[in-house]
Amino acid sequence: MYNRRNKFNPLWNSLILDGVKNGQKYLGMVRMIGVNFEDNHVATGFGNHLARPILRDEWHDNLSFEDGVKLLEKCMCVLLYRDTTAVNKLQIAKITEEGVTISQPYSLKTFWGYSAFQNPTVGAEGSW
C-alpha cells in the first residue's frame, strides 16, 4: 500500500485490525489516508456514521458474546435498511487466544412491509 501511495495511485482502503496476544485485546482501525486509532468498537463507511452512535449508546465492558452479536445485528439491520442494494447476509468471527471461530453465513431478519418503504415519497414535502 505504501508503494502505491508513493506513486499517487493509492488503494482507498479502510482497515480494521483485531486480535489477542498475552491476554491483551486489540481493536484498531486505519483510515484511507493513514489516520489510525484504537477503540472498544470501530466501523467503516456508512457504519461509522449510522452504527457507531448505536454502539456508543448500547455497548458496555461486560457485554456477553450473545448480546454483542445481537447488537451487531441491530447495527447491520440499520445499515441494510439505509442501503437496500446491500446483501442481508453476514458472518460473525470470534477472536480469542485459542484462535479464530467464524460462523456460517446467515441472513438477517428484515421486514420490508412498512408503508413508508412501499411508497417513500407519499406525504413528503415536494414529492410528486
Q: Please tell me the predicted confidence (pLDDT) of residue 109.
A: 92
pTM of the model: 0.78
Cα–Cα distances in angstroms (integers) from residue 122 to residues 104, 115, 116, 117, in the given order: 40, 9, 8, 10
Q: Give pLDDT, residue 85.
A: 87
Confidence at residue 127, expressed as pLDDT on a 0 to 100 scale:
59
Mean pLDDT by 10 residues, the chain (128 residues): 79 89 88 88 92 96 96 96 90 91 95 81 70
Rounded CA-CA distance 13/34 in Å is: 10
Domains of the chain, by residue range, sit at 2-112
User: Per CATH, which fold does 2-112 belong to?
Assistant: Glutamine Phosphoribosylpyrophosphate, subunit 1, domain 1 (3.60.20)
